[in-house]
Amino acid sequence: MSGQGLTGLSQWSRRLVAVGVLAWCLITVFPLYWVVVTAFKTPPGVVGGPTYLPFIDFTPTLQPFIDLYQGIRGEFFRTFLNSTIVGLSAAAIATAIGAMAAYALVRFEFKVRLGAGLVFFLLALGFYLLFNATFGLTRPQALLLAFPIALIAAVVANRLPLPGPILGNEDILFWFVSQRMFPPIVTAFALYLLYSEIGRLGFQLIDSYVGLTLCYVAFSLPIVVWLMRDFFEAIPIEVEEAAMVDNVPSWRIFIGIVVPMSMNGLLATFMITLAFVWNEFLFALFLTNSRWQTLPILVAGQNSQRGDEWWAISAAALVAIVPMMIMAGLLSRMMRSGLLLGAIK
């Protein structure tokens, strides 16, 4: 990888390009600098107009952070914990089962009849309407009953010689990835209604750890499967074949050989998923209200709650941002070693 594309440029144009990149870099960094500086200002230091340099323009103070910790502007400490717990567990679960699915898609052959997929959708819809309208079951009850029936019927239908195309691994992957295309508002709103009706049956999902984590796992899976498939494809198959000759069962090949070999990829995927969950706003807005509120919701609320107290807002924003800044540092180190190269092909 030498310098491509700019080889024909003169010395002067190279400098011009460097200045351009530097300018973009400044645009990127300045707002971040601004929020860090503002978080250490006293109220008069903020209201009096823009000031830039600590100790010269203004005297820094830790007061905004002390306020945050003492919970004057909402329970930051607990919300931070919530975000951490939900983020770590959702990312870990999604990476684990996503990696398993990705491995299966790379190494095993799957055949799904399009007809079976249609059977699933139509039966799920039909039984839902039947149970709901005719037998008078509540909507979640009807859904929960219709789902297994349709699923079993679809699995059986897959073995029958139905007409229509047969879908392979590529199509299953496409199905996974296409879940990302859906506007999340479609699901978020329906999920909110579904959760609250399930809650009326006695099982609390709204504003609960299980409900939020489950939803985040489902929404991280497409990315995980997509990223991990590329990592697994890059692993030479010879090692696995050698193990198969010795009759090592598949699950031990996966855990003992494949997982250690793709540790970097798993780690990068885990971090990307964690960032996604940590920053997510829409689902948290719908699915939590007090106990399991996450940081983005609390941070967004700072805006309206007590007016423009920018020093406190900056401190709050900083709390949400800093963990991801650290991760950016770690990720860029991995990027330098060419790790993410495979992920985009």
Site for another protein in 226-255 (CB under 8 A): 237, 241, 244, 249-251, 254
Rg (CA), the chain: 26
Q: Based on CB atoms, which residue is closest to another protein, 16 or 263?
A: 16
CA distances from 129 to 94, 102, 124 (A): 32, 34, 9
Using CB under 8 A as the binding rule, whether residue 13 contacts another protein is answered as yes
Give the range of 31-39, 84-92, 158-166, 261-269 binding another protein by CB under 8 A. 31-39
Among 17, 62, 160, 239, binds another protein (CB under 8 A): 17
Distance, CA of 17 to CA of 20 (rounded, Å): 5
Distance, CA of 188 to CA of 206 (rounded, Å): 12
Q: How far is the CB of 135 from another protein (least distance, A)?
A: 16
Among 76, 128, 270, 292, binds another protein (CB under 8 A): 128
Among 166, 214, 235, 261, binds another protein (CB under 8 A): 214
| Binding-site string for another protein from residue 310 to residue 329, where x marks contact by CB under 8 A and - marks none | x--xx-xx--xx--xx-xxx
Using CB under 8 A as the binding rule, whether residue 27 contacts another protein is answered as yes
| Residues between 79 and 98 with contacts to another protein, criterion CB under 8 A | 97-98
Q: Based on CB atoms, which residue is closest to another protein, 76 or 219?
A: 219
Q: How far is the CB of 163 from another protein (least distance, A)?
A: 23
Using CB under 8 A as the binding rule, whether residue 135 contacts another protein is answered as no
Using CB under 8 A as the binding rule, whether residue 261 contacts another protein is answered as no
| Three-state SS at 293 | coil
Among 63, 75, 85, 110, binds another protein (CB under 8 A): 110
Residue 88 tokens read as: 């770590």
Cβ-based neighbour number of residue 294 at 10 Å: 28
Q: How far is the CB of 232 from another protein (least distance, A)?
A: 11
CA distances from 256 to 102, 238, 248 (A): 17, 15, 10
CA distances from 55 to 32, 39, 45, 64, 293 (A): 19, 14, 12, 17, 36
Using CB under 8 A as the binding rule, whether residue 68 contacts another protein is answered as no
Among 182, 239, 263, 306, binds another protein (CB under 8 A): 182
**How many residues belong to the site for another protein (CB under 8 A)?**
120
Q: Based on CB atoms, which residue is closest to another protein, 163 or 261?
A: 261
Distance, CA of 150 to CA of 131 (rounded, Å): 13
Length of the chain: 345
Distance, CA of 212 to CA of 233 (rounded, Å): 32
Q: How far is the CB of 161 from another protein (least distance, A)?
A: 19
166 phi, psi to nearest 5 deg: -105, 130
Region at 307 (left for phi over 0; alpha for psi -120 to 50; beta for the rest):
left
